[in-house]
Structure 1
Amino acid sequence: MNKEQSNGVVLALLEQLNDHHIPRLLKLKEKVEDGSRLDDYDLRFLKDAISVAEEEKDLIHQHPELNELAGQLYHLYNLITDQAIVNERDNG
């Protein structure tokens, strides 16, 4: 992938994160912080979001300016999953 193509992929990824993934992740964070359990739809979304992040590791390495954002997203995934586990244990 040349630099122009790579930049286009980064732009599309950032747009998708901004418009869809981050708002949904923040809603999931709010949901688990309120003590609610994640439903199947929530879990599928979270699993898909984490899979996409794993697939884009090479792209992040090619664009070091994305490192901080990637770190914040991984932190958000961890916060959500850790609290979701606690909620499942407590409400199970």
Structure 2
Amino acid sequence: MDQNAEDAGIIAALIERFDKQRLPRALSIKERVDQGERLSEYDIAFLEEVFADANEMRGYVDRHPEYHDLAARAAALYKAIMDKALENEKKDTSG
């Protein structure tokens, strides 16, 4: 199987997982942290898994620039979650 065909299959599976599993979960977490909640242990485990997977997917994104925007948007969402979660943690411990 050629590299592009193999990449296409893997990317399709990754996008489906993102669309059906990762994005809904991330949006749910974002909604809760935006309301001032702290991350649960389950949320933290989910985010750790996402970041580990992102490192593994970097090669696919590098080889396929058509997915750069999607990857950047996903990274921005996860960064927003982490920034707000950190802010919430600081509020909880300071007052």
**Range of TM-score over shorter length:** over 0.9
Which residue number corresponds to residue 51 of structure 2? 50
Give unpaired runs (5+ residues) of structure 2.
none
Which residue number corresponds to residue 76 of structure 1? 77
CA distance in 1: counterparts of 2:60 and 2:42, whole angstroms:
28
Which residue number corresponds to residue 66 of structure 1? 67
**C-alpha RMSD of matched pairs (Å):** 0.9
Give unpaired runs (5+ residues) of structure 1.
none
Which residue number corresponds to residue 15 of structure 2? 14
**Secondary structure, counterpart of 1:56 in structure 2:** helix
Offset of residue 74 of structure 1: 0.7
Counting matched residue pairs gives 92
Which residue number corresponds to residue 24 of structure 1? 25
CA distance in 2: counterparts of 1:40 and 1:11, whole angstroms:
29
